[in-house]
Amino acid sequence: MPTESTSDSHPHQDLLSAVIRFAGDSGDGMQLAGTQFTDTSAIIGNDVATFPDYPAEIRAPAGTVPGVSGFQIHFAAEDIFTPGDAVNALVAMNPAAFKAHIDDVEPGGVVIANEDEFNKVNLRKAGYPEDYNPLDDSQYLTRYQLFKVPITRLNEEALADTGMSAKDVGRCKNMYALGVAYWLYDRPLDQTIKYLNRFFGEKKKLPKVAEANIKTLKAGYYFGETAEMFPVRYHVARAPITPGKYRKVTGAEALAMGLITAGKLADKTICYCGYPITPASNLLHALAAQRNFGVKTFQAEDEIAAVCASIGASFAGQIGVTGTSGPGFALKSEAIGLAVMTELPLIIVNVQRGGPSTGLPTKTEQSDLLQCMFGRNGDAPVVLLAPQSPGDCFDAAIEAVRIALRHMAPVCLLADGYIANGSEPWLIPDPDSFEPIPVKHPTANGQFHPYDRDENLARPWAIPGTEGLEHRIGGLEKQHITGNVSYDPENHQLMTMLRKEKIDRVARFIPDQTTFGPDSGDLLVLGWGGTFGSIHTAVARAQKKGKRVSAAHLRYLHPMPSNLGALLKRFRGVLVPELNTGQLRLLIRGRFLIDARGLNKVQGKPFLVEEIEQAIDLMLADKFGDREYLMPRHHQVKLEDQEYDFAAALAGAAQETHES
């Protein structure tokens, strides 16, 4: 079995990093192939970052462009922070996948096309003109290293004597493609073989299926070795990663682990109440599978019931957590207001997706910031935190629980589809390295006042079952201290201010905002959440070119770090790249009266590094002019595109309608 690298005489080329994308029909197993490639790359010591991209429909019409599922892996011999801009190698399992992804491949990049599927029917389904096959198109042949591999047929031949049905054989072809990719990038097979044996062999009790998958995986690998089709193999050495024990985690997994850890640190049960919603369901699944950690999971009848049950759990003295995405968050608004009013700890995870309304369920966006910040009736402040990467979800979840319990307040954790489903290597922490989360429950001692407050303005968390502390809370305005219902005008003003001040005082526990690069200069690129990787990489490149650019990434969106205002004012300009039309920018402008400019992208995809680099250049060259923000179009942030060209779009739409 090939495990040693560089064991053959094939010419090798060393690369610092590479980006490979697997693309096929949503039933082709591309997510599995991608995950396996990632795991193997991580285990051999590469730094990795991934970006799964799958359709909203579970099985969109087979062979069509909307049904294409992709998985991109960036693996490197250096520290990386994004899944990569341009694709170096594309594995396209059918014409639709080719069509959907070919433009992302860098010129000269490798394209491995499963030529068996480029037949008349599939070409038509992909929307190609009659009698046209892109594999014969000279523009692609000259632009890319295009390799036509009959993956379907070779997989069938490899599995001819297994006695499996044609359908089952067909389902193994992703492993054949993976085998080819493993050979091309000089990766060992053992990790995937182990996985196949464990998953199909042990878990699903289908040893024959495991065997077949392994067989075709190897066949793919040997194809690379013997077919002499590829002129060169690529080698990406291990990255200078801090030594230690690692595992690959997705953001959803890290969130689940963070919540479980927080529960242990607080000696409380995590009561996670959710309702299925893309892309947040993985968090519910991850927690439901780990009930032996004492986690209670509850699939409620709807989003409202989910948040209400978690509020009930917090009232009863455990840690109520609910998770959702934008549309679900909207439904939870009123109940979150109840948690604000009753001053109970509550964690709301919002795995953001493209909106408004149902929007783009499987695509990423950062457009719920203002919803989470303000989307409630009345003045109803909550704490807002945003993890910046899949692994960071772990720490952010613990921090969210710590704040919620210390301040008796709802905390909203703003993840997004990109970091929840993306993955990265995670240095396994020492379980004893965490500070416990202290919890105070009062006991009967004289007269009890449910709206008494401590130095953080948090009220006592007296829990049902405690003798002598019986009290009533609710959504009606409370009298200061006693918690009795009060409609007194002065009291309402006092209580409103207390609720605000309580959240503002969370800032006392927030570390000062740090910068990547000097804390003053020509430009500060200010980001939050899942855009960290692209911003960091773009700013690093600008710094390398000698530009006086720094980056700051906000984890604490509300309240913000106390030093942020002063920090922003030490830069000549502030650029806020966001996957929305300028929500943090609005908050920054409003709060600090700073002329922050935006780079705003709403295409359901993360920023490309080059898009941010271009915006940095424009800002530094003072070319933004009076424009408050620019939007990248087709990977270009051009000044001439500074105004969104509605006229052209409308004219184009009219023409299309006319044509059809």
Partner 1 sequence: MSEKSLPVLTAKDFASDQDVRWCPGCGDYAILNQVKKVLAKVNATRHNSVFVAGIGCSSRFPYYMSTYGFHTIHGRAPAIATGVKIANPDLNVWVVTGDGDGLSIGGNHLLHVLRRNVNVKILLFNNRIYGLTKGQYSPTSEEGKKTPSSPQGSLDLPLTPLSVALAAEASFVARCIDVDPDLAKVLERAANHKGSAFIEIYQDCNVFNHFAFRYATDKDAKEENILRLEHGKPLVFGKDRDKGIRMTSEQKPEVVKLSESGIKEDDLIFHDEHDEKLAFTLSRLRVDDGFPEPVGVFYQMDDDCYEDLLTQQIDEAIKARGVGTLEKLFNAGDVYEIEPSEVPHEQHV
Residue choice 107, 465, 590, 625 for contact with partner 1 (CB under 8 A) = 465
Helical (H) or strand (E) element with 283? helix 281-288
Site membership for partner 1, residue 45 (CB under 8 A): yes
The nearest distance, CB 444 to partner 1, in angstroms, is 9
Binding positions for partner 1, 63-82, rule CB under 8 A = 77-78
The nearest distance, CB 476 to partner 1, in angstroms, is 7
Site membership for partner 1, residue 246 (CB under 8 A): yes
Helical (H) or strand (E) element with 351? strand 346-352
Site membership for partner 1, residue 237 (CB under 8 A): yes
First to last CA, the chain: 55
324: left (phi over 0), alpha (psi -120 to 50) or beta: beta
Residue choice 193, 473, 507, 540 for contact with partner 1 (CB under 8 A) = 473
Residue choice 86, 193, 206, 469 for contact with partner 1 (CB under 8 A) = 469
Binding positions for partner 1, 7-36, rule CB under 8 A = 14-16
Strands in 488-548 per DSSP E: 521-528
Site membership for partner 1, residue 252 (CB under 8 A): no
Binding positions for partner 1, 154-193, rule CB under 8 A = 191
Q: Alpha-carbon distance 332 to 339, whole Å?
A: 11
Binding pattern to partner 1, positions 568-607, x when CB under 8 A? Answer: ----------------------------------------
The nearest distance, CB 329 to partner 1, in angstroms, is 16
Residue choice 159, 209, 313, 574 for contact with partner 1 (CB under 8 A) = 313
With contacts defined by CB under 8 A, name the span among 59-67, 165-173, 256-264, 382-390 that binds partner 1: 256-264
Q: Alpha-carbon distance 103 to 106, whole Å?
A: 8
Residue 415 pairs in a beta bridge with 351
Which one, 243 or 546, has the nearer CB to partner 1? 243
Q: Alpha-carbon distance 306 to 273, whole Å?
A: 5
Interface with partner 1 (CB under 8 A), residue total 83
Strands in 83-135 per DSSP E: 87-92, 105-114
The nearest distance, CB 42 to partner 1, in angstroms, is 7
Q: Alpha-carbon distance 489 to 495, whole Å?
A: 10
Q: Alpha-carbon distance 372 to 326, whole Å?
A: 9
Q: What is the amino acid identity at position 112?
A: I
Binding positions for partner 1, 356-395, rule CB under 8 A = none
3-state secondary structure of 363: coil
Binding pattern to partner 1, positions 286-305, x when CB under 8 A? Answer: ----xxxxxxx-x-xxx-xx
Site membership for partner 1, residue 242 (CB under 8 A): yes
Residue choice 240, 356, 436, 518 for contact with partner 1 (CB under 8 A) = 240
Q: Which two tokens stand for residue 582?
A: 């300028």
Q: Tokens 């610092």, residue?
A: 16
Which one, 330 or 360, has the nearer CB to partner 1? 330
CB atoms within 10 A of CB 481: 12
Q: Alpha-carbon distance 469 to 459, whole Å?
A: 13
Helical (H) or strand (E) element with 632? none
The nearest distance, CB 545 to partner 1, in angstroms, is 15
Contact 135, 115 (CB under 8 A): yes
The nearest distance, CB 14 to partner 1, in angstroms, is 4
The nearest distance, CB 307 to partner 1, in angstroms, is 8
Binding positions for partner 1, 192-231, rule CB under 8 A = 195
DSSP classification of residue 115: G
CA distances from 345 to 271, 342, 502, 653 (A): 12, 9, 13, 49
Helical (H) or strand (E) element with 271? strand 270-274
Site membership for partner 1, residue 282 (CB under 8 A): no
Which one, 215 or 332, has the nearer CB to partner 1? 332
Work out the angle at residue 556's Cα, subtended by the Cα atoms of residues 554 and 558, and round it to the nearest 5 degrees: 120
Site membership for partner 1, residue 435 (CB under 8 A): no
Q: Alpha-carbon distance 324 to 435, whole Å?
A: 28
Which one, 115 or 395, has the nearer CB to partner 1? 395
Binding positions for partner 1, 481-500, rule CB under 8 A = 484-485
Site membership for partner 1, residue 334 (CB under 8 A): yes
Site membership for partner 1, residue 262 (CB under 8 A): no
